[in-house]
Structure 1
Amino acid sequence: MDPTDDGTEINVSSGNESGSIAMPPLLLGTYTPKIDAKGRVALPSKLRGQLGSGMVMARGQERCVYLLPQAEFRRIAMRIQRTSMGNKAARDYLRVFLSGAVDQEPDKQGRILVPPMLRDYAGLADDIVVIGVGTRAEIWNRASWESYLSDKEQGYSDIADDVLPAVDF
């Protein structure tokens, strides 16, 4: 077992590859599936395969819906819970985050149901966008996503130095 950055331990052997660490999925890209009248979304097969059969939907920042593999959702919730007792902001965040979270499994057609509470929260109607954001996917109202992206693209190169560590290429 090796320690992670938060002090938990991970098993470094998985499957047939002794000594390897199972990497979390790397969700990438932008997709424009439709959401039907019942709130069902057919996830792109590539994202569905990376998210796994069980996933969790939760309120995201900027009025989107997070879609996380169960292991990633549990990791985030556990990290927040470690600080929540003495930190009011963490308690508040945890309450909102967990109270809006729901387990999901795709049906036989690969669709997931976005509950009315989360559709209302994110303003999801007919026109949506699903984006890969590393260890999670996000479901956005298409107009909100386009507005957000347009606003953030202006400063994209300006913030790179603050966000990215110094990397020698």
Structure 2
Amino acid sequence: MFFGTYTPKVDEKGRLFLPAKFREQLAEGLVVTRGQERCLTVWSMQDFAGMTDRLREAPVTNKGARDYVRMLFAAASQEVPDKQGRITIPSVLREYASLGKEVMVIGAMNRIEIWDPTAWATYSEEQEQKFSELSDEVFPGI
């Protein structure tokens, strides 16, 4: 499980130091790809394989499923962290998420998201009120 917020740097070669708390879970490899709201999503190989299995069940005749699969897989990059815990984020993904040297890395349960700090601050501020309101919808009766 991934949780917490971290502020590692992206170096001049496009490499990101994964937060130390995430490294063990991703040591065998990971997939980084487009996420929603113009962030990047990092999946363990196991979770990405599970998601791929579910996507295989979607009918190819469904335009939404085709579009989603194209966008997800076209930008996907399989990585194995180096001995220092770094992964390379391809330039196409850095551009997609408007990433510079400074980034925000957040744990989001079964995945990691990588955000531009300004985009994360804006998103987080916009969602604060909704977060309170959604608790009844996500956890009814609790």
TM-score (norm 1): 0.80
Residue 125 of structure 1, aligned match among 88, 100, 105: 100
TM-score (norm 2): 0.95
CA–CA distance in structure 1, aligned partners of residues 16 and 102 of structure 2: 11
> Equivalent residue of 2:132, what SS?
helix
Task: Assess if the C-alpha contact under 8 Å between 1:84 and 1:90 holds in 2.
Answer: yes
Q: Give yes or no for the alignment of 1:47 onto 2:22.
A: yes
CA–CA distance in structure 2, aligned partners of residues 84 and 143 of structure 1: 38
Aligned to 1:14: none
Q: Give yes or no for the alignment of 1:97 onto 2:46.
A: no
For structure 2, the 5+ residue unaligned runs are none
Aligned residues: 142
The one-letter code sitting in structure 1 at the alignment partner of 2:69 is L
Task: Assess if the C-alpha contact under 8 Å between 1:77 and 1:94 holds in 2.
Answer: no
User: Which of structures 1 and 2 has the bigger CA Rg?
Assistant: 1
Task: Assess if the C-alpha contact under 8 Å between 2:8 and 2:103 holds in 1.
Answer: yes
CA–CA distance in structure 1, aligned partners of residues 26 and 140 of structure 2: 27
Deviation at 1:86, TM superposition (A): 2.6
CA–CA distance in structure 1, aligned partners of residues 94 and 59 of structure 2: 27
After superposing on structure 2, the runs of 4+ consecutive aligned residues of structure 1 that deviate more than 4 Å are none
For structure 1, the 5+ residue unaligned runs are 1-25
- Larger relative contact order (Cα-Cα within 8 Å, sequence gap ≥ 6): 2
Task: Please list the CA deviations of residues 1-45 of structure 1 after superposition, one character each: whole Å capped at 9, or x if unmatched.
Answer: xxxxxxxxxxxxxxxxxxxxxxxxx10100000111111111111
Task: Assess if the C-alpha contact under 8 Å between 1:55 and 1:103 holds in 2.
Answer: yes
The one-letter code sitting in structure 1 at the alignment partner of 2:103 is I
Decide which moves more: 156-165 or 118-127. Answer: 156-165
Aligned to 1:11: none
Write out aligned runs for 1:16-55 (5 A).
26-55=1-30
Write out aligned runs for 1:128-147 (5 A).
128-147=103-122
| Aligned residues: CA RMSD | 1.1
Query: Normalized per residue, which structure has more helix?
Result: 2
